[in-house]
Amino acid sequence: MGVPVVIVTDSSSRLPASLMSTFGILQVPLHVTLADGTEYLEGVDDIPPDVVSTPGVTTSGASLADLRRAYEQALELSDGDGVVAVHMSRRLSGTWSAARLASDALDGAVRVVDSRSVGVSLGLTTMAAVQASQAGAARDDVYEAAVRAGATAESLLCVQNLDNLRSSGRLSATGHILGSALSIKPILHMADGVLALRERHRTMTKAIAKMVDTVVELAAGESVTVGVQHCQNPGLASEVLDSVVARLEDVPSTLTVDLGQVLGTHVGPGAVGVAIAHGLEPIEF
């Protein structure tokens, strides 16, 4: 008998290396390219942290070659039990489309999930697939577990300034924000697979307070796993996590991660966000 269904994700999930090692999760790198053409693979190469505020930096999704290589490795490890790949929203990156092509080249042996999210929310959705696999679910049931988790997850983000969003092109309804004074601190959320404006405030303090209030409302008194993500702002991330957990009734697990250079390039230094996932068993991150 093979190992449980093998799970693959991409580096935007921000899952800790220790967790990936424990559960045999395979990760496909996203790409960061400097203005001079230097290219880095996230999660593989040592990327300078200041690229998130360096002009001319671009990012790109996982390559078809890297995806196929990871899937082939996962199929070998699965020994016939199957592979489920959980990737960032198809509306944010070409990664999902490339993943489908890689799966097709392998005769559909890999089920590819559009998580409809990115960052720590993708990480938590990936863990829903992992937990279903560990419980002995078949490949298609693991796929469905991830789809359900992605559909019910909630993700919010506050950014310190609008410069990175202005140039990233990843934000829906940018005109409503970018036509405003630069002092505006927006609260963004994932809506139908894209990053969109939820509301805006005059100060970061007010935006953070409202984000915490909203997370509590979205949890609706249910048990939720909480993930906090940040771009070079661990102190504020810790404060946000404490504030959220103190107001929720049942939090089996928490996770705090840095957004890394790919996502950080789009949201900029200082950004802090919260994601919640329903129905996860306790996780030792």
Q: Where are the domains of the chain?
A: 6-152, 154-278
Cα 155 → chain centroid: 9
CATH number of the domain at 6-152, out of 3.20.80.10, 3.20.20.70, 2.40.10.120, 3.40.50.10170? Answer: 3.40.50.10170
Q: State the number of CA atoms in the 13 A half-sphere of 154 facing the CB.
A: 18
Q: Please identify which residue in the block is written with the tokens 């970018």.
A: 178
Token digits of residue 122: 């993708």
Does 154-278 match 6-152 at the fold level? Answer: no
Q: What is the CATH number of domain 154-278?
A: 3.30.1180.10
Note the pLDDT of residue 169: 59
> What's the pLDDT tens digit per position in 217-275?
999 999 999 999 999 999 999 999 999 999 999 999 999 999 999 999 999 999 999 99
Strand order in the sheet with 58-60: 39-41, 31-33, 58-60
The number of beta carbons lying within 10 Å of the beta carbon of residue 107 is 7
Q: Please identify which residue in the block is written with the tokens 């996502």.
A: 263
> What's the pLDDT tens digit per position in 170-195?
555 444 555 455 568 889 999 999 98
